[in-house]
Every structure is written in structure tokens, then in C-alpha cells.
Amino acid sequence: MIIGFPTEIKAQERRVAAVPALVHDLVAAGHRVLVQAGAGLGAGIADAGFADAGAELVEAAEAVWGTAGLIVKVKEPLPAEYPLLRPGQVLFTYLHLAASRGLTDALLASGAHCFAYETLTVQGRLPLLAPMSEVAGRLAVQAGAWHLGAQVGGRGVLLGGVPGVAPANVLVLGGGSVGTEAARMAAGLGANVVVLDIDLERLRHLADILPANVTTLASSAHAIRDRLPTADLVIGAVLVNGARAPTLLRRTDLGLMHDDGPVLVDVAIDQGGCFETSRPTTHAEPTYVVDGVVHYCVANMPGAVPRTATFALTNATKPYVELLAGLVERDGIAAAVAHPVLGTAANVLAGELTHPAVAAAFGLPWRAPAEVGRGGD
């Protein structure tokens, strides 16, 4: 199979979906691999590294998309890339469709088979979302700590405090991978941390593994509002598989907070955001202020650490890229869709929506991936 890795074009996105080790193994398995020239430079991977591993370097994105039967990316296609998709082509990347009707409609119109990293499920786990969630959780604390600084409009609070001065109060909404890493990072810096989640078993687990300066609480609208008046930093870390993130804070809730620069970090912004006042931002312009509250809503947070993030991501995606390419090459798209794991990643197949949470977000019809897959290649 011909597999293409184009350069990411999202603003300040320096990750790449391949590393030389992945290219080497795909070529060894008999696949032809195309890498757009310069695709790995932002992550510290020179073109020569890919070429030495057996990839063909291609200058133009159009040549990668136009030749490859399988396109592997990091981020969702942007409008400039929509026309490059074609019927029968396979796309494997983060999609987050429930947050974008425009992208959903474009993928449906393309006729391509679109598989999403973030919905691929193995025994209830999301192995392709986990590594970037871990990175984003840690970055959320770094970003929040920096933007609490008065020099960038924050309220001038040091996250860990100093002897004789109390540390900051950090509120983490959600105890999954993002929330766990955020709580661990903030606690390690000395902050007072509270984690809210609706899953009591998860809270018991977190209480066992996190430091003593982390408190776990059952989440509710009342519990969130009760903690807002003392919160210096709030991290939104909720996730519903494939669905739009629930709104946990309304604009009226901001009135409960300090009005001199507390910080909200919305890690759920890829899935629409969990704060009513959230809107996507970029690494170049990461924040804005609403009612005295600093909002950090960068939609590709791991792109800030592309070396770490690229290798962490490809460590996770490698076996599934190899599996998808092998199945489609040998037996067609139906075999990939029928696979018990890859089938969970299928979001759009040949013009049909195949994920119920995405369908629910927009009130659109959908069919199970296996039903569509039986219709042919």
C-alpha cells in the first residue's frame, strides 16, 4: 500500500505523524511510504532520517495526498486540505468531529474512509488519545502557572507558594488521563489541588496514587460552584468518547471567581470546550480575558512540545497504522472496518457517518461501521 505522511498545516503545529522507526517497519512490510519534505523538521527529524529509513521524500502536499491510498496525520484536515481527499482514500488522524459540523460535512462529501485516533477503543481504553492527554495534562499546569503571572495578565500568584505564603488553589475538572497528569504536576509544584469526577471508583484510585495535597471530590454543579471562589487555576479535563464536551462552567459562574486574573485552561477545546466562554486559540495568541478571567484554549496544546509529543504519539499509533495498512492492502476496507479495534475508530465511511456520538452532536443519521463495510470497498 502507498502510505502518505503530509506536513501539518494547523497554526504552530510542529508534530508529524511518522518517525523513522515507523517508516522503516512499514517499508519492511512491503509498503511504499511517502513523506512530505520538511514534515519532521519541527519535531527535530531531518528529511535524511526518513529517507534513510526507506521513505520517498515528496515536495508538494498535493503529491502526497494524490498518490497515497492511506493518509496518516496528527491533526484533522483543514479547509485547504478538504479538496485533497478523494473517494476510497483512507484517513487516519485525530478528527474530533463532534466539535466541527464543517469538517464532518466535508469528510462525508469526500467519500473517503476516515478513522479517528481519539475513538479507537481497546477494552474500554483510548490508547491513541492517552499519550497526548498525558502531555496536555502536564502542559495545562505549565501554561496555567505561567499565565497566573502578572506580567501576562494573571493575578500574580506563584503556584507552589513559598514558606509563609499559601500556595495557589488548583481545581481540576475530570479525573481521566488529562486530569490525573494535571493534578500530579500541580501537586508536585506544591499547589493545593482538588480533582472532581463523577466516577467514584476513579476517585478512589486517584486518592491512592496522588500526593496528599490532592483532594478528590464527587463532581456536581454545586461542587464546582462551591470551589470557584477560591480557585486560582481551573483545568477543564473532561472527555466523552467521540462526543462534544459537556459545558461545566457558564459565563455567570465566572462571577464567583476572583476578577483579577485567575486562569481557566480548557483542555477539552478540541471537543468543543467545557466552559461556555471557551473558543479555540493558538500558541501564537493563546489567551483572552472574559469578566476578569484569563482563558487559555489552545486547540493543539501538545504541539508546543513537538519532539516529545511526536515520539509519544507514534509509540502509540505505530501498531495500528501497521494493522490498518496491512488489512486494507490484503482484504480491503471491509476487513479494517470489521476488525474489533479498528472498527471503533471508524467515524466516516464512504459518505456515511458511523459514530453515534458524532451523529448525536448534529442530529444526523448514522450506521454501524460493520453495516457500511459490508457494502464493499
Indicate which residues carry an active-site annotation.
96, 270
In angstroms, what CA-CA distances link 88 with 56, 71, 95, 110? 23, 11, 18, 9
* Cβ atoms within 10 Å, residue 374: 11
Closest C-alpha to 296, from 153, 98, 130: 153
C-alpha–C-alpha distance, residues 206 and 314, integer Å = 27
* Kind and range of the H or E run holding 196: strand 192-197
* Cβ atoms within 10 Å, residue 116: 24
Write out the three cell numbers for 74.
496528527
In angstroms, what CA-CA distances link 131 with 83, 118, 128, 352, 356? 30, 11, 7, 29, 24
Alpha-carbon Rg for the chain in angstroms: 21
Closest C-alpha to 177, from 159, 194, 197, 192: 197
φ, ψ dihedrals at 173, nearest 5°: -100, 100
